[in-house]
Chain A
Amino acid sequence: MRTSPGESPRRDGHLVVEDLSAGYKKTAIIRGVDVAVSKGEVVTVIGPNGAGKSTLLKSVMGLLEPMAGSISLGGEPIGGLPANKVAAKGVGYVPQVRDVFETLSVKENLEMGGYHLRRPEVQERIEEVLLAYPQLKGMLTRSAGKISGGERKMVAIGRVLMTRPSLVILDEPTAGLSPKLAQQMLEQYVARLTAREVAVLLVEQRAREALEISQYAYVLASGEVKLESAAASILDRDDLGQVFLGRTEGAA
């Protein structure tokens, strides 16, 4: 039983992943995964280490070629496209580590985010990003490898916002941040992305905090979706700890 009582799995959205299998060399890490994310909502994927969360994100981004299944964005198939083409379709991806160009300045990082924009547009979008992240204003010429973890993540998110993406993929954006900063990152920056009518696909270790800003969630374990449901109904469950680990048999 994949869903909570009274719910059925969702199949519609801006991003629709169907029956996806992917992995490295010939070994599938995720198998038969269905995920859907609509514009203006945060969808979180939670699950234990090694569940295949990053593999899922990388396949959507085109960093891994799917072995089977389909991925579409706004009804257009994007499965199997290389990452630079997927980015050009309006997908922004913030990896967990190595999320900025360390040897480039903050400003150059933003410029690279808008790589295929025309020159006047680049300047315009940088202003737009600075409006959302005014903290970055004072550090535009600084090397992105030499700023704090929180600032760095802002640069990373700001970089993907340069193209005004329709889908933003975030792989554990709070990793390495203090609990307070993590909370702030999720509530103020990740949740607010939805105001731009962006679809947000989020992977988080801080499951409870992530669910609180999400509309919908998937529990991934051993490469399969064990449970999908409105985020609120997962938060309400008494066996939350077990659910995070993908153990839902008893409750469902």
Chain B
Amino acid sequence: MELNLALGFGLVTASILALGAVGFTLQFGITNIFNLSFGQVMTVGMFAAYLINVQGGQSLWVGVLGGALAGAVVSGFLNKTVFMPFLRRGVSLDGIIIVSLAVGLVLENVMLAFAGPSFKAYNQPRTHSIHVLGMILTVQQLLIIGISVAALVGLHLLLRQTRLGKAMRATAANAGLARTSGIATDRVTMIAWCLSGALCGAAGVTFALNLATFDTTTGSSLLLVVIAAAVFGGVGQPYGAMLGALVIGLATEFAALVSPNLKEVIAFAILVVMLLVRPDGLIPSAATKETMGAR
């Protein structure tokens, strides 16, 4: 019985992690930027949903949409005003990691200044629990799984079936060759930033929703587990990230059966073992280190 419960929670956690990890990895795959401000962008999503849901009195699901939109806007804005200019100036990818750390701190403190240090909670309608295959889940949790599956199936179709999605994969595989094929890689990259920001915003809101309360630091603590899932799958690989999210999501909830404190321990233990066995993650990336700033 307890195992079934953990399985249910694991699937919910995996769904949330998958949104974040796929978002993180999508952007990394195209830009090679290990973006540490991603955590705070998730927090931006949480607060955007809070404004819509609590201050605006709208449904929580409008809030999720709003959080995704806010994530997309902030992520695109950061690409245009911070990351692109730094890359153009020839800052190394290692240097950009520090820049992203700084950007994250700025974002977090701006939010702290406006929202204060108190914990926030969404207005959630009281709902009953639903029993599925021995798992007990709330309606919200089922919807979280639904949102995640829908978003990831949508992304899969985008990447495999559409011209834009193929151009994204082409840019991730070989940006120089993409440019000589007539692909406006700057535009494709911008869209990838926004898309990854949207996934990231959605991950933030669903995480906060599942957690019940959040504050300005919630996103950055979630980021560590998101990165673990992304790196587990082979960073830059959307399908690997989905798998990584599933493995780490389930493992953390099963570990919580023993003690909730073990959640992050197990996440990183899995990651360390994975990196020892397969340093490039489950699905190694074919892309090489090539900065997007170069023509």
Contact = CB atoms under 8 A, between A and B. Distances in A.
- Count chain B CB atoms within 10 A of each CB in A61, A95, A99, A115 and give the residue with the most: A115
A168 to B, nearest CB: 12
Contact of B182 (A65, A88, A102): A88
Contact of A87 (B167, B181, B286): B181
A215 to B, nearest CB: 25
Contact of B173 (A63, A82, A84, A101): A101
What 6 pairs across the A-B complex have the smallest Cβ distances? A87-B182, A83-B179, A101-B173, A93-B180, A103-B173, A115-B182
A115 B163 contact: yes
A111 interface: yes
A116 B166 CA distance: 13
Nearest to A89: B182
Contact of B180 (A61, A103, A108): A61
Given A82-B295, A104-B166, A95 B177 contact: yes
A64 interface: yes
Contacts of A62: 180, 295
User: Secondary structure of the B side of the interface?
Assistant: helix
A67 to B, nearest CB: 14
A31 interface: no
B179 to A, nearest CB: 4
A98 interface: yes
A101 B170 contact: yes
Q: How large is the interface on B (under 10, 10 to 19, 20 to 34, 35 or more residues)?
A: 20 to 34
A112 B176 contact: no
Interface of B: 163, 166-167, 169-170, 172-174, 176-185, 286-288, 295
A105 to B, nearest CB: 10
A175 to B, nearest CB: 16
Interface of A: 61-65, 82-84, 86-88, 93, 95, 98-104, 108, 111-113, 115-116, 145, 159-160, 163
Contacts of A145: 286
Contacts of B183: 84, 112, 115
A111 B286 CA distance: 20
B166 A84 contact: no
Given A65-B295, A102-B286, A103-B286, A112 B172 contact: no
Contacts of B286: 102-103, 145
A84 B179 contact: yes
17 contacts: A62-B180, A82-B179, A84-B179, A84-B182, A84-B183, A84-B184, A88-B182, A98-B176, A98-B177, A101-B174, A101-B177, A101-B178, A103-B286, A104-B169, A111-B166, A112-B183, A163-B182
A246 B184 CA distance: 38
Nearest to A86: B180
A62 B185 CA distance: 14
A84 B177 CA distance: 10
Given A61-B180, A116-B182, 5 more contacts: A63-B179, A63-B180, A63-B295, A84-B181, A113-B181
- Count chain A CB atoms within 10 A of each CB in B166, B177, B183 and give the residue with the most: B177
Contacts of A111: 163, 166
A104 B179 contact: no
Contacts of A83: 176, 179-180, 295
B180 A112 contact: no
A103 B169 contact: yes
A111 B178 CA distance: 12
Nearest to A65: B295
B176 A95 contact: yes
Contacts of A61: 180
B173 A104 contact: yes
- Count chain B CB atoms within 10 A of each CB in A64, A65, A112, A159 and give the residue with the most: A112
Contacts of B185: 84
Contacts of A99: 177
